[in-house]
Structure 1
Amino acid sequence: MITKHGSAIWQGNLKEGTGKVSTQSGALSSNPYGFNTRFDGQPGTNPEELIGAAHAACFSMALSNILSGKGIKVAKVETTSTISLSMDDGPKIVKAHLDVSIQSDGDEDTVMACAKEAETGCPVSAVLSCEITMDAKVSAA
């Protein structure tokens, strides 16, 4: 079993407090976050942004694996995952939308079918308890 971890330190109350988030690899090391970066659009990171990055990375890898398994050469998969946080009835992630651009040597129908498989089959999609949607464009490599 592969295990990875992230960590966070929070000090203070919700609105005036501050936090720092880190990853095991050191890719993030004591990066600041807070109420203002999450809800007021101030510079800095926030949980939804980090989930979006993880989702985009995981989806891209899963799609590349699925395509390669079908003998389709992948030149590039470029993905953005937009995470929507609803404040109705308390904060809750309600949607993850994938915008994907795929460059490969596969025919469009096959590549799109593989993208649909990765949309729900990547490990991060599987852990998200929300609606997941996707818009994808396919072009030749």
Structure 2
Amino acid sequence: MKFTRKASAQWKGSGKDGKGTVTTASNVLNKTPYSFHTRFENAAGTNPEELVGAAHAGCFAMQLSFLLNESGFTATTLDVSATITFEDGSIVLIVLNLEGHVPDISEKEFVQIATNAKEICPISKLLNTTIELNVNLS
């Protein structure tokens, strides 16, 4: 399967005092503001690291769902959060926290499948950083 997706960004002004917007072709993000202040000072708006975290959490959850199905399981719920650590101009760590509700699966098998999903998720493969996975089956 091959497809393309598109997103765009517009920036106006200097790095610290400027501001920009990001837009996705689906318009889920439509001129969503971002700036130095949203990136480094928690002002209202988004930032690149938050968007990477959302993409990674979503990709991992979907990949895990596919792998669970291949093993004969269907998740009731997979809650995934991604925490991005930015340090000295680089993303140095991503921690994926997984809370799963999967009927009839052992914890050992769930951890194995989740670990595989982390390794083969397209966003994981894209990123050049340490990725940790915390798994909780409930």
Q: Which category of TM-score, normalised to the shorter sequence, fits these structures?
A: over 0.9
**Residue 120, structure 1, aligned to residue 113, structure 2:** no
Contact 1:63 1:114 in 2 (8 A): yes
Question: Deviation above 2 Å: which 4+ runs of structure 1?
Answer: none
Unpaired runs of at least 5, structure 1: none
Looking at structure 2, the residues matched to 73 and 36 of structure 1 have their Cα atoms a distance apart, in angstroms, of: 41
Give the % identical residues. 38
- The residue type equivalent to 2:102 in the other structure is S
User: Alpha-carbon deviations, 1:71-128, whole Å to 9, x = none?
Assistant: 01211100001111112xxx11111100110100211111110000011210000001
- The residue type equivalent to 2:118 in the other structure is E
- The residue type equivalent to 1:16 in the other structure is D
Residue 53 of structure 2 is matched in structure 1 by 52
- The residue type equivalent to 2:69 in the other structure is S
Task: Say how many residue pairs are matched.
Answer: 136
Contact 1:97 1:132 in 2 (8 A): yes
> Aligned-pair distance for 1:5?
1.1
For the residue of structure 1 that corresponds to 2:78, the secondary structure is strand
For the residue of structure 2 that corresponds to 1:65, the secondary structure is helix
TM-score normalised by the chain length of structure 2: 0.96
TM-score normalised by the chain length of structure 1: 0.94
Unpaired runs of at least 5, structure 2: none
CA RMSD of superposed structures (Å): 0.7
